[in-house]
């Protein structure tokens, strides 16, 4: 994992990152490299026929 970025997400909202991590099945927020594959897929011809779909890269949050 990369450097701890939790302080960036919680500026002005103490405890926000901890709460998000608590309610997410994987128990943590994604690292940029974990989101890169989905972004690359959506930016290439591999996703040309993908329409009207939400590609959730959320650590299982929506699957609850």
Tell me the C-alpha distance between 24 and 19, whole Å: 9
Tell whether the model's pLDDT for residue 3 goes beyond 80. Answer: no
Q: How far is CA 17 from CA 33, 49, 54, in A?
A: 19, 35, 23
Q: What pLDDT is recorded for position 24?
A: 95
The model's pTM is 0.66
Tell whether the model's pLDDT for residue 8 goes beyond 60. Answer: no
The end-to-end CA distance of the chain, in Å, is 25
Q: Retrieve residue 6's tokens.
A: 């939790």
Tell me the C-alpha distance between 17 and 11, whole Å: 10
Tell me the C-alpha distance between 41 and 23, whole Å: 27
- How confident is the model over 28-49, as a mean pLDDT? 95
């Amino acid at each position: 994992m990369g450097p701890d970025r939790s302080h960036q997400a919680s500026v002005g909202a103490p405890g926000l990152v901890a709460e998000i991590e608590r309610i997410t099945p994987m128990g943590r927020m994604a690292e940029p490299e974990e989101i890169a594959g989905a972004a690359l897929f959506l930016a290439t011809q591999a996703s040309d026929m993908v329409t009207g779909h939400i590609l959730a890269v959320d650590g299982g949050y929506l699957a609850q």
